[in-house]
Structure 1
Amino acid sequence: MTGELVIDRLGLRFGGVVALREVSIRHHPDEVLGIIGPNGAGKTSLINAVTGIYPPSSGSVSYRGTPLTGRSPESIVATGIARTFQHNQLCGDLTVRENVLLGCHPRLGYGMGKAALGFGPARRAERRLRGEVEPLLELLNLGQVAAEQAHSLPYGLQKRVEMARALALRPTTLLLDEPAAGTSDEDRAALVRIIKHLRQEGACSVVLIEHDVGLVMEVSDRVAVLDWGECIMVDTPEAVAADARVLAAYLGVDDTPRDLAPSDSI
């Protein structure tokens, strides 16, 4: 369907190692889709295959009716998909504002070299984009540190800078790869607020990969569960939290089942 991110029987192999096995997921427009699973379940491999970093071994990915399989990461970004990474990809010596501004440049329509020369349309476009950056800095509570170098910030704030840079692309779908990992309770609360804001304002759809199960359950409309490279279910947070297959994936079949409470972080 137009507007959907459709992952159809996606497979990914590294030699004899199977990272993904016929994964099929539909991410609907304007929803927050959480993706959870134990370590090694294939969560990051999935997002890397969707965004063109890893070429799938089988299956297909399409977005808004456009096939993505076999395309470069840059061309996939041009379709409206932006992402963050588990490990920050910031330019540490640049300021927070400059890092976020870098996210705008793919929308200029010409290279960084011409933009740096500052001639005519390039200069006007640069001024316009600088104006777009300020609301993003405020949304992510980065306004007070906008002039600081990115490498000087605490890890949780660096994570937010990377999210702001991804949002500067004006994506229609944002893929977040473990945005809460290694952050404080304050950062976690800010992340919940930001995702809920994006959802309520219809700014973009969100795919959230995260180990913090409670966070995923709190912000997601639906949750997909991966285990050993397979998608074992996609359903509401309530249904996922009570499903025996999910409990077995996290706890092992020999453990006594229990609910995945909102405070769990697995």
Structure 2
Amino acid sequence: MAKKETIGSLQSAKGERKLVMITAYDALFASLFQESADMILVGDSLNMTFLGEPDTLSATLEQMIYHTRAVCNGAPESFVVCDMPFGTTHSPHQALDNAVKVFRQTRADAIKIEGGLERAPLIRHLVDNAIAVMGHVGLMPQSVRGEGGYKIKGRDEKSFQKVLDDAVAVAEAGAFALVVEGVTPELGRAVTEAVKIPVIGIGAGADTDGQVLVFSDMLGLFEAFKPKFVKTYLRGAEAVREAVARYAREVREGAFPAEEHIYK
């Protein structure tokens, strides 16, 4: 297994090698991902994947800490980032208190915060207090209700400049890396070129410093909807259904358990 990434090694990768990030929410899947991924994100998308919610806003800090502990246990050699859920970073004082809880109760290497210019002072406050922060600009899932849906950024000049300004502000505030989501490829490229920190894209084109996908999307396990930017690498839901159907059939036919499955 490759040596665990650090903030220094991740930042030195910019322009040299593409970074791979994937979400995980438990020890089992995290253990399967750590060999291939440079970073594992414990995303607040867990409530969409595991709880069946329509968006990410219901995730709580307690849930995020629980799942981050699980991921850290399953992938101790991975660089793990914990999403700060909606409502936990509205002020510098609140954000620091909650980030400290994450660092004390888990072995996460960093936290991730959505927001641009308006969050820059908050990010600086966290960084000044020894909290490693990954930023997140562009389409921000925690803003979906306030914006009236998931809206791609960068299709007009105002939107393009806003995301670019957000990215620069977050980088200058001390974030060690940045996720840019749901933007045109031209904007994804512009953000990547505008900042010195690694930019991880999701629905942001191929010119970012790396990519992140939600594992249940990438493995074809989540079927409620499929974003355009997702490539499915496995027909996971189909494989699981077929396996469970075979198990059920063998139980009903008396074929399982067979002789090799019985204690003697």
- Same structural fold, with TM-score higher than 0.5 when normalized by the shorter chain: no
Class of the TM-score when normalised by the shorter of the 2 chains: 0.3 to 0.5
TM-score relative to the length of structure 2: 0.35
Larger Rg: 2
TM-score relative to the length of structure 1: 0.35
Higher strand share: 1
